[in-house]
Amino acid sequence: MTDNAFLTACRDAIGASHVLTDPHDTAPYLTDWRRRYNGAACAVLCPANADETAALVKLAVAHRIALVPQGGNTGLAGGATPDASGAQAVLSLRRLNRVRDIDPHNNTITVEAGVILADVHKHAEAAGRLFPLSLAAEGSCTIGGNLSTNAGGTGVLRYGNTRELCLGLEVVTPQGELWDGLRGLRKDNTGYDLRDLFIGAEGTLGVITAAVLKLHPQPAARVTALAALASPHAALDFLALAQRVAGPLLTGFELMSDFCLRLVGRHFEQMRYPFAEPHAQVVLLELSDSESEAHARTLFESMMETALEQGLVEDAVVAENLAQSRAFWNLREHIPLAQAEEGLNIKHDIAVPISRIGHFIETTDAAVAQAAPGARMVTFGHLGDGNLHYNVQAPEGVDANAFLKQYQGPINQIVYDSVHAHRGSISAEHGLGQLKIDEAAHYKQDVEVRMMRAIKAALDPLNLMNPGKVLR
C-alpha cells in the first residue's frame, strides 16, 4: 500500500479538508515552539472526535504509517515534531475541543484533549471552581499536551503536577481501540493504574483524547508578595517557615535570582526592579485563602514578621491590589522572554530534592564558571517542588551562537552530572521529547530503561506512536 492510498483512506474517514498536505497548510505543525526542530510529514490529520482519531490510528496501523500526536505545539523538547523523513503523519488534536461535562458536586470537569488550558480555567470559574494548573503558555497549550508531558507550572506546591489533577482518561491505543477510562473516581483499586502509564508518555503509548480533571473551590482571596533574600539557603529556610505558618494556603513559591530580574528590567523597561537595593535572590509567594483577604493578610504579616526577625528575609513588598499582584507575576513570567531578547542560551529544566537546591546552585554555578568564565546564570523556578530552570547565558558582549557552539555540550554535562549527583531529574516538567533521549538513557539505571522499553514494546509493538521520542 502506498502513502497515497493511506491519504485517500484518511480523507474518506474524516473529510478531505481535514487532511492537510499543502506545504503552506502543514508548515505551522512541522516546527517546534523554540524553532529548534524542523520536520516533514506526509500529512497533518485533524480528526474531530475520539472515534475519528481511532479510525485514523487503525489506518496508520494498516498502512504502517507512524503518527506524531500534537496539541498546541508549545512543547520545549521537540516531542510533537515529526522527523525529517516525510514518512510520518502529524495527528493534530486541536479539533477535539469540547468541554463534555462539569460536575460541581464531584468537583470535576471532563474535557477533550484539544481544549486550551485557559478555556478550562474559564469554564471552571463559571462553575465557581478553580482548575489550578497555570503555565505561561496557558493561552495556547492544550490539555492533551499538558497530560502528555505531565506539566507542572506555578501551582504544584499546593495542587501537584497534571498527573495529580487527572482522575481519568480516554485513550486511543496503538491498535486503534478506544479505552474509556473517564470514571472520575478518587479511589479505584482494581489493578494496574493504566491512566498513569499514558500521562507523561508524550504520545508514545497511545493518544489521549479526553480527561476527567479535578476542580477545587475558588479561593476567597489571594495575597501576593515579593521577598528579598541573601541566598538560596535562606530561601529554603523561608519556605519551611511559610509552610509551617500557612500550611495548604501557600500556593506559590517561586525563586528568581537577581540577574533574572535585572534581565527583565533591561528588556522590558516598564517592569522595574522591585527593591531599592539589590538582593541575591527574590521569592514570589502567594497565599490563597478560603476565608477572607483580611485573614490571609493577617497570616502573611505574622509570617513576614517572623522571617524578618530571624534574618531570613532582607526586604519585602506586598501587592495591595489585583493589578500589583499581576505585575509581580509578570516579572516572573517575563524571565524567559527577557532571555530570548538577550540572545540564545543553554536551557535546563531540572529537579532536585528541595533540601539540596542551595547546594546544587552553589556547586553547579562554580563548575560552570570555571568551565565558561563570565557566563551569566539565569536561575529561576518553582522552589516549592524542587524544579529549577537553570539556564546559562553567554558572557556580556560574547556572540551567543559562538558561545553555544563551544560550550553547550560541556555545560550540559556539568549540569546533568550535578543533577545526577544530587539525586535529581534532568527533566522536571518539559518532558524528554527528542531533546534528551540520550541523556535520559545515560543517567537512568539499565533496569529502568529495560522496563520502559518492555512497556513500549507491549503496547506499541509496531513502534508507530511518536517514534524517536522518550526512547530510542
The 10s digit of each residue's pLDDT in 325-383 is 999 999 999 999 999 899 989 999 999 999 999 999 999 999 999 999 999 999 999 99
Residue 409 lies in a domain: yes
pLDDT at res. 34: 84
Measured between alpha carbons, how far is 387 from 418 in angstroms, rounded to an integer? Answer: 14
Would you give the DSSP letter of residue 395? P
| 305 in a structural domain | yes
Residue 281 backbone zone (phi > 0: left; psi -120 to 50: alpha; other: beta): beta
- Last residue within a domain, chosen from 302, 321, 336: 336
- The 10 Å Cβ neighbour count of residue 365 is 18
Provide the residue range defining the domain that includes 75: 3-92
Judge whether 432 lies within some domain.
no
CB neighbour list of residue 323: distance below 8 Å, 6 or more residues apart: none
What are the tens digits of pLDDT across the range 401-437? 999 999 999 999 999 999 999 999 999 999 999 999 9
Residue partners of 92: CB distance under 8 A and separation at least 6: 29, 44, 45, 46, 70, 71
Residue 445 resides in a domain: no
* C-alpha cell belonging to residue 38: 524542523
Q: What is the CATH number of the domain that holds 59?
A: 3.30.43.10
User: What does the alpha-carbon distance between residue 113 and residue 70 come to, in Å, rounded to a whole number?
Assistant: 10
For residue 154, what pLDDT is reported?
87
Q: Which of 217, 246, 272 is the last residue of a domain?
A: 217
Q: Indicate if 281 and 210 belong to the same structural domain.
A: no
DSSP element (H, E) containing 210:
strand 207-214
pLDDT at 112: 98
Q: Are residues 293 and 360 in the same domain?
A: no
Give the angle subtended at the CA of 265 by the CAs of 230 and 72, to the nearest 5°.
Answer: 100
Are residues 225 and 306 located together in one domain of the fold? Answer: yes
Same domain? 105 vs 204: yes
Per-residue pLDDT of the chain (472 residues; tens, 9 = 90+): 447 999 999 999 999 999 999 999 999 999 998 888 999 999 999 999 999 999 999 999 999 999 999 999 999 899 999 999 999 999 999 999 999 999 999 999 999 999 999 999 999 999 999 999 998 889 999 999 999 999 998 888 899 999 999 999 999 999 999 999 999 999 999 999 999 999 999 999 999 999 999 999 999 999 999 999 999 999 999 999 999 999 999 999 999 999 999 999 999 988 988 999 999 999 999 999 888 888 889 998 899 999 999 999 999 999 998 889 999 999 999 999 999 899 989 999 999 999 999 999 999 999 999 999 999 999 999 998 999 999 999 999 999 999 999 999 999 999 999 999 999 999 999 999 999 999 999 999 999 999 999 999 999 999 999 999 999 8
- 225 and 332 both lie in a single domain: yes
Side chain identity at 184, as an amino acid letter? G
199 in the same domain as 236: no
- Say if residue 165 is in the same domain as residue 241: no
Distances (CA, A) of 271 to 314, 329, 382: 21, 11, 21
The CA R_g of the chain, rounded to the nearest whole Å, is 23
Is 470 a member of any domain? no
The answer on 302 and 236 residing in a single domain is yes
C-alpha dist (Å) from residue 421 to 126, 353, 413, 417: 46, 11, 12, 6
End-to-end CA distance of the chain: 26
Per-residue confidence (pLDDT) for residue 384, from 0 to 100: 87
Distances (CA, A) of 383 to 256, 268, 346, 352: 9, 24, 20, 10
CATH number, domain at 328? 3.30.70.2190
Helix H or strand E encompassing 298: helix 293-309
Domain stops at, among 48, 65, 92: 92
Q: Cβ contacts of residue 365 below 8 Å, gap of 6+?
A: 377, 379
The residues, ordered by sequence, that sit 6+ positions from 184 with a Cβ below 8 Å of its Cβ are 103, 106, 108, 110, 167, 168, 212
Is the residue at 126 inside a domain? yes
Distance, in Å, from the CA atom of 392 to the CA atom of 378, rounded to the nearest integer, reads 6
Q: Are residues 232 and 318 in the same domain?
A: yes
Q: Provide the whole-model pTM.
A: 0.92
Bridge partners, residue 90, by sequence: 44, 68
Instruction: Tell me the C-alpha distance between 251 and 445, whole Å.
Output: 34
Cα separation, 235 vs 225, whole angstroms: 14
Burial 320-337 (b: 16+ CB within 10 A, else e): eeeeebebbbebbbbbbe
Give the number of residues written for the chain: 472
| Overall domain count for the chain | 4
18-40 residue pLDDT tens: 999 999 999 999 999 888 899 99
φ, ψ of residue 48 to 5 degrees: the values are: -100, -15
- The answer to whether the CB of 235 falls within 8 A of the CB of 383 is yes
Decide if 189 is inside a domain.
Answer: yes
Are 204 and 239 members of one domain? no
Indicate the helix (H) or strand (E) that contains 261. Answer: helix 258-267
Residue 236 and residue 331 in one domain: yes
The amino acid sitting at 347 is K
The answer to whether residues 43 and 83 belong to one domain is yes
Gap between the Cα atoms of 79 and 459, Å rounded: 19
Residue 21 is predicted with a pLDDT of: 97
Checking DSSP bridges between strand 43-45 and strand 89-92, what pairing results, if any?
Answer: parallel
Domain with residue 109: its CATH number is: 3.30.465.10
Residue 174 lies in a domain: yes
386 closest CA partner among 446, 334, 427:
427
The CA distance from 280 to 276, in Å, is 13
> What CATH number is given to the structural domain containing 406?
3.30.70.2740
